[in-house]
Structure 1
């Protein structure tokens, strides 16, 4: 069976990516990161999702890129600002080069287990302005990975980065997830990480808009 590494944050996007990989017949190897974020809600969700999907292996890599600050997701001296779904600037929740780091480690993991496929649930159509959620970035990372791994450069077993939602809106993604049987009730998206989602940060607002546009109640908000 062909193997795939799935970057699994525990949020909505990565959950749909995981179930999509599952539907395409991949053996699932999920990868999450403890990178100095202010809460572990998503990590707990990722573990639950990996188990529910029947992943062969679920790994959590500790790499504290948050120690030098620069993001309200990792710097406790910064506040997570209230969201704005119409923003055009880069929000303070952007973690410097996060997806670049994550994909580099995913490539190392993929080469070690002989996987030629990496799944990441980013979108440039419906996101918070992050530069590492764009097709140009994904293309550049795929090229770098295939230049810098023996599996690809020497043995011609090229690694493909799958970003299946790159041009999808979140509402389209949710509809796809429902058709795949994604347990959205297990996911966590809120940046603030309280007992319940805050409903005010960018991630909460984007998620709420997406479920509304899809005409579906968010199962994670049901009591």
Structure 2
């Protein structure tokens, strides 16, 4: 992971409430950046992850913006995360997990985050793309991040860098980093289903559970 000299500079972190973006958020804070968290309601199936994101930002006193872009939902249809489609179960490698792709989601969020960064004079936008997403999510791949970064150097008078510190790492590596930093993953929500407890069956839960197992750690959240 490339290191940047923070010196209390501002950064925007796209923050979903999940463990990947939580790790990015807390790591940026610990590196000395003034963190501005940005979450999006894009019409996802539930708001639990957004409630978790808000609670974390209140706890650590991060600036927090929740942007409601749910009115674009009719334009980005076809995903189990936004439409009345059953959430597929099983590991992320299974072809059915492509049903969880939300069309153009990261480009939409990054574009708005860059606008926010320019308006508050932040030097960069962070987001939690990682290598485990590469096979299924085109907008988490290295080519996409590099292209978006190039565009964001010329899209405004003030260049903004796109940083995905875990782009070449998987969720196992991300969790290992977070555990080494002493992060509390009970402050995260990963499950695609907004139930009282995590389902333990969807691809997101299975990848999370695998990460804890590989790190010889116990997941602090409750499962059915």
Provide the TM-score with structure 2 as the length reference. 0.90
- 1:146-196 per-residue CA deviation (whole Å, 9 max, x = no partner) reads 2211212xxxxxx21111111112111111112223221010011111111
What is residue 91 of structure 1 aligned with on the other side?
98
What is residue 62 of structure 1 aligned with on the other side?
68
Structure 1 distance, partners of 2:40, 2:133, is 23
What is residue 103 of structure 1 aligned with on the other side?
110
What is residue 86 of structure 2 aligned with on the other side?
79
Map 1:34-183 → 2, pairs under 5 A: 34-55=41-62, 57-64=63-70, 65-68=72-75, 69-76=77-84, 78-87=85-94, 91-125=98-132, 129-152=136-159, 159-183=160-184
Question: What is the number of residues matched between the two proteins?
Answer: 215
Structure 2 distance, partners of 1:102, 1:84, is 26
Provide closer, same or farther for how the CA distance between residues 191 and 90 of structure 1 changes in structure 2, counting only shifts above 3 A.
closer
What is residue 5 of structure 2 aligned with on the other side?
none
Provide closer, same or farther for how the CA distance between residues 171 and 15 of structure 1 changes in structure 2, counting only shifts above 3 A.
same
Task: Quote the RMSD (CA, aligned, Å).
Answer: 1.8
Provide the TM-score with structure 1 as the length reference. 0.91
Larger mean CA deviation between 119-128 and 12-21 belongs to 119-128
What is residue 214 of structure 2 aligned with on the other side?
213
Gaps of 5+ in 1: 153-158
Deviation beyond 3 Å, 4+ runs, structure 1: 125-128
Q: What is the Cα deviation at residue 87 of structure 1?
A: 2.4
Q: What is the Cα deviation at residue 126 of structure 1?
A: 5.4
